Amino acid sequence: MGPTAHGDIAVVGHHDLTDGSLRLVESAVRTRLARLAGRARAMVRAAAGTALASGRAARASGLPLAVVIPTSIGVPALPPPQDRPATGELLTLADQVRLLDYDPTDRDSCVGADERLVAAGSLLLAVWDGSPTDGRDATAHLVTYARARGIPVEVLWPEGAARDRGPRPRIARARAPF
């Protein structure tokens, strides 16, 4: 039985896609997911970039979409400002919302959430330009993580796609008053 027969496809990739690349990625992911309609479900962690493009692609291709959102002690957590519009749209596209305890303002916590998403899938679809993991992006790490666990990986990077490598706003974490 192939990996897609089990049903869950984790989709991860770059968050810093240019506007034009967002459309290219959406089209490429839609084409790939359309072949699985009726046999699979797409899963993404709520965020801008690849997650949003993949959510739109899943809806357009007829695949159910599960969206993972952050929680803190069981209560939904507010995403970083740059991810709020995408999170709102993903929630309207979702067939299922999964709550996962992680801090959306902490990179390591987000990588841990992505690792759990990858481990829950029977296939990893990675929107990846082949660049190494750096302080902002962990797509290379997630591909390696999946392969080390025997999870099949498919990499997509559409011709003409590009990333916006400008500075990403830093989120200050609130400190408890005590």
* pLDDT at residue 64 in the model: 96
User: Cα–Cα distance between 141 and 80 in angstroms, integer?
Assistant: 22
Strand partners, 154: 125
Average pLDDT, the chain: 88
The whole-angstrom distance between residue 100's C-alpha and the CA centroid of its chain comes to 14
Architecture of the CATH domain 3-156: 3-Layer(aba) Sandwich (3.40)
What's the pLDDT tens digit per position in 10-27? 999 998 999 999 999 999
Q: Is residue 76 scored above 80 in pLDDT? A: yes
Q: Is residue 176 scored above 50 in pLDDT? A: no
* pLDDT at residue 166 in the model: 67
* Contact status, residue 34 vs residue 68, Cβ threshold 8 Å: no
Q: What is the DSSP string of 125-147?
A: EEE--SPPP-SS--HHHHHHHHH
What's the pLDDT tens digit per position in 118-143? 999 999 999 999 998 877 789 999 99
